[in-house]
Amino acid sequence: MLSPLLLAAARSGRMRDVITSVPLTRGVVDRFVAGDDLGAALEAVRELRDGGLEVTLDHLGEDTREPAQARATRTAYLRLFEAFEEQGLAGGSDASVKLSALGQALPGDLALDHAREICSAAGRVGMTVTLDMEDHTTVDSTLEVLGKLRVDFPWVGVAVQAMLRRTEGDLRDLVGEGSRVRLVKGAYAEPASVAFQSRHEVDRAYVRALRRLMRGDGYPMVASHDPRIVEIALSLAAERSPASYEFQMLYGIRAAEQRRLAQAHQMRVYVPYGADWYGYFMRRLAERPANLAFFLRSFVSR
Ligand code: FDA
């Protein structure tokens, strides 16, 4: 019952003002976000890489309504690539990009143009890019941008959400050779007309999509903390070479399991950083009621 409320709050400007103005929130946010700036992100990345984990970096921000803000997000990614190259962290690393932060909702091809610049800079330093998937109204546009980017940058990946009814159909075009697909359950509040609503239905849809990806010729990225999903993925991957798929988890969630999997498999951690953490943080609270309790306790225990 709480999840839809928290997901609605994730999009509320008024709630954003309240929650981000409380200094105590910060301590809880730090569990899920590597820090406000690139320096903090680099520190987290070094630690993860020392532990044998790969990374994908997300410069936080979404739903940009201002061209200047979209440009600033693009610039933040360009700085990230420079820093990764300078510090010898680029090889094998990935950047996760939300097209809504690059101007997807603004007129023209702004998001595509920014994404092209980002891909071009990532390619120069030997990094890859994966497009995050946002709410269902953006899926057509995101897949269209993906198709255009892949003409010049065939290594660009995309996230697909098992909860969306359309995903099984979308996968038909995404299982070809070289196609990098991150399979997630889906983090947005969606209506029943477009998305499975029960946990059970979403999990079953996830497994169907996973089977399809594992049987295909692409590069499946299994992004879930769910132990049953991880087990199923391991058994489906038994026929594949270890270099032909990877696991992914979010920064701060099931860290011990991340390190355990990394001993025998490719394991990538999604590392968000930046000051605009509100929407990301609220989705993490919505995923797990215990996170909300932890968040509320941090107020009461002061
Ligand atoms: P599930 O929610 O069933 O959780 C399984 C178990 O994992 C829980 O019982 C708990 O132990 C642990 N867990 C899960 N979430 C937790 C949390 N917030 N805090 C603490 N423990 C938690 N979504 C999207 O719509 N678009 C996207 O682009 C992405 N990108 C993305 C990248 C990566 C690398 C990951 C791992 C996830 C995403 N997601 C996403 C989020 C995804 O859609 C989903 O909301 C979360 O991964 C939670 O679903 P699980 O598969 O982990 O299962």
The CATH architecture one would assign to domain 34-276 is: Alpha-Beta Barrel (3.20)
Confidence of residue 157 (pLDDT cuts 50, 70, 90): very high
Confidence of residue 1 (pLDDT cuts 50, 70, 90): low
pLDDT, mean of residues 70-79: 98
Provide ipTM, 2 decimals.
0.98
List the one residue out of 117, 168, 99, 161 whose CA is nearest residue 136. Answer: 161
Q: Is pLDDT of 271 > 90?
A: yes
Confidence of residue 193 (pLDDT cuts 50, 70, 90): very high
Percent of the chain with pLDDT over 90: 84
Q: Is pLDDT of 301 > 60?
A: no
**Binding-site residue positions:** 98, 133, 161, 185-187, 224-225, 283-284
The Cα 158–Cα 181 span in angstroms is 5
Q: Is 188 in the pocket of ligand 1 (CB under 6 A)?
A: yes
CA of 215 to the centre of ligand 1 (A): 23
Q: Is 161 in the pocket of ligand 1 (CB under 6 A)?
A: yes
Cβ proximity of 156 and 128 under 8 Å: yes
Q: CA triplet 63, 65, 71: central angle to 5 degrees? A: 95
Q: Is pLDDT of 290 > 90?
A: no
Cα-to-chain-centroid distance, residue 208: 21
List the one residue out of 194, 105, 176, 187 whose CA is nearest residue 141. Answer: 105
The Cα 245–Cα 205 span in angstroms is 19
- Catalytic residue list: 132, 182
The Cα 49–Cα 266 span in angstroms is 12
Burial of 300 (0-12, 13-18, 19+ CB in 10 A): exposed
Cβ proximity of 294 and 28 under 8 Å: yes
pLDDT at 23: 72
- What is the domain partition of the chain in residue ranges? 34-276
pLDDT in tens, 26-65: 778 899 999 999 999 999 999 999 999 999 999 999 999 9
- Give, for ligand 1, the residue of 225, 280, 295 to mutate: max count of ligand atoms closer than 8 Å to Cβ: 225
In this prediction the pTM is 0.96
pLDDT at 14: 79
- Atom number of ligand 1 nearest to Cα 248: 34
SS3 256: helix
pLDDT at 232: 98
Q: Is pLDDT of 118 > 70?
A: yes
Question: Which secondary-structure segment (H or E) carries 259?
Answer: helix 255-262
**Binding-site residue positions for substrate:** 98, 283-284
**C-alpha distances out from residue 164 to 98, 132, 138, Å:** 18, 14, 12
pLDDT at 174: 97
pLDDT in tens, 224-265: 999 999 999 999 999 899 999 999 999 999 999 999 999 999
192 or 300, higher pLDDT: 192
Q: Find the range with the poorest average confidence among 115-129, 139-153, 279-293.
A: 279-293
pLDDT at 4: 83
- Give, for ligand 1, the residue of 100, 198, 268, 288 to mutate: max count of ligand atoms closer than 8 Å to Cβ: 288
